[in-house]
């Protein structure tokens, strides 16, 4: 893959994963698009808190806002979900039903390192900062935090 496409495809991956991740949260909180086993969950339960994290985090991931920090938190949530819910059933993810948790965990871990891509609010904010520093005649400061 050439560098020309990398940032755009990273943005597409981010938006698709965020959209799919929100569905897990809405399933826990609102039984939408389908009821979660045992759901909807009270917000005071661990599953209810996970649902809130998934809806808010998924929305931030779609928008590409605070992508690195949000993705890091979501990777942690998926690691906790895997080890608390799935791993006690079996060592192998294919047998314990934890494949999605592992895939989400490592996808979010990748996003926390790679950023939100070209089509993200993070990149837009970074471009605005660079433009302001150029118009003021100052050297633009390097920002790895918001890099696309």
The 10s digit of each residue's pLDDT in 86-128 is 999 999 999 999 999 999 999 999 999 999 999 999 999 998 8
Residue 80 and residue 47 in contact, taking contact as beta carbons nearer than 8 Å: no
Domain count for the chain, please give it: 1
Cα atoms found within 13 Å of the Cα of residue 48, Cβ hemisphere only: 6
139 within a domain of the structure (yes/no): no
34 within a domain of the structure (yes/no): yes
DSSP 126-140: HHHHHHHHHHTTPPP
Tell me the pTM.
0.86
81 within a domain of the structure (yes/no): yes
Taking the CA atoms of 4, 126, 68 and 14 in sequence, report the sign of the dihedral they define: negative
The 10s digit of each residue's pLDDT in 38-67 is 878 999 999 999 999 999 999 999 999 999
145 within a domain of the structure (yes/no): no
The residue range of the domain holding 47 is 3-120
Grouping H, G, I as helix, E, B as strand and the rest as coil, residue 120 is coil
């Amino acid at each position: 893959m050439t560098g020309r496409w990398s940032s755009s495809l990273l943005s597409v991956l981010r938006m698709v994963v965020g959209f799919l991740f929100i569905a897990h949260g809405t399933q826990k909180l609102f039984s939408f698009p389908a009821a979660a086993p045992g759901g909807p969950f009270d917000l005071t339960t661990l599953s209810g808190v996970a649902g809130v994290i998934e809806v808010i985090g998924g929305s931030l991931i779609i928008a590409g806002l605070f992508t690195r920090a949000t993705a890091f938190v979501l990777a942690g949530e998926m690691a906790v979900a895997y080890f608390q819910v799935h791993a006690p059933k079996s060592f192998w993810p294919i047998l314990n039903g934890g494949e999605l948790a592992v895939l989400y965990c490592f996808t979010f871990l990748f996003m926390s390192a790679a950023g939100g891509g070209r089509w993200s609010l993070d990149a837009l904010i970074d471009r605005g900062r660079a433009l302001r520093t150029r118009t003021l005649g100052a050297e633009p400061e390097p920002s790895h935090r918001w890099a696309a």
